[in-house]
């Protein structure tokens, strides 16, 4: 029995999230169907993050176990020939039997993108949340600072998640940057994220930015440990899973590339930056 790691990216617009669901198109289902055609056996691909409906990934990681001895290069070529154009596998490689894409993850980075302009955009609508009202970024940044560190993030968990001790997470970074006029990026890095957490963080910070929630209320929202205390949930289309990091024993394939900034997800939305002349 082999354990294989899969690195992939996808445009989540046409999918009901990562995880297999009855009668709904999902990324996991498309990937598993393609692997079945190549390997001749059914496998279950476990993803590092269970992205929601409409959410995208630049650096999703998965793993699966199989009996096939087919070459990883042949698997990569075969799978990509069967997948739709909005899902692309970037690498397939043998890994340790101990590797688990979700449980072994040590750090994840998500980015949430906002198009802050009264007018819409034909080019941004699939990947940005269009917020028409002007956002005040300084209050948003001060509010974000209150959320960095290890906290109980129950107030930022969507319904259906786990209560109590399971809602404590470490948020290493929560950064808000305006990269160009109207282009705002919220970056979040942490050791794990609750269901809907980044989207609720983004929605709450936007509510601060447009004056619906005073920045001084954010520590109280965190302390309340009650979803009703926080702001709105931002739409899925603005969210990207950028990358996932693992202990070095599982990263020997890409350590040098990551140091050069060339690892999976490192390019981010660089093609859009080039197209529109944005500064990173």
Q: Which residues are catalytically annotated?
A: 52
Scored b (16 or more CB within 10 A) or e, 217-249 reads: bbeebbeebebebbbebbbbbbbbbbbbbbeee
């Amino acid at each position: 029995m082999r354990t294989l790691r899969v690195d992939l990216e996808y445009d989540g617009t046409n999918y009901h999230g990562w995880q297999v669901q009855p009668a709904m198109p999902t990324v996991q289902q498309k990937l598993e169907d393609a692997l079945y055609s190549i390997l001749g056996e059914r496998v279950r691909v476990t993803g590092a993050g269970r992205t929601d409906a409409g959410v995208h990934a630049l650096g999703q990681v998965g793993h699966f176990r199989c009996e096939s001895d087919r070459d990883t290069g042949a698997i990569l070529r075969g799978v990509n020939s069967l997948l739709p154009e909005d899902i692309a596998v970037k690498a397939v490689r043998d890994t340790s039997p101990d590797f688990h894409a979700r449980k072994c993850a040590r750090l994840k980075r998500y980015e949430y993108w906002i198009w802050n302009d009264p007018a819409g955009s034909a080019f941004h609508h699939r990947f940005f949340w269009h917020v028409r009202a002007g956002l005040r970024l300084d209050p948003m940044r001060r509010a974000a600072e209150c959320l960095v560190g290890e906290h109980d993030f129950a107030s930022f968990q969507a319904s259906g998640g786990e209560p109590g001790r399971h809602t404590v997470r470490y948020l290493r970074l929560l950064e808000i940057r305006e990269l160009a006029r109207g282009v705002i990026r919220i970056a979040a890095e942490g050791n794990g994220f609750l269901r809907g957490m980044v989207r609720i963080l983004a929605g709450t910070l936007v509510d601060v930015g447009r004056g619906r929630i005073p920045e001084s209320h954010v520590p109280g929202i965190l302390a309340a440990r009650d979803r009703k205390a926080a702001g709105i949930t931002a739409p899925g289309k603005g969210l990207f899973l950028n990358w996932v990091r693992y202990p070095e024993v599982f990263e020997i394939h890409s350590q040098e590339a990551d140091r050069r900034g060339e690892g999976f997800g490192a390019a981010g939305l660089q093609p859009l930056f080039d197209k529109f002349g944005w500064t990173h």
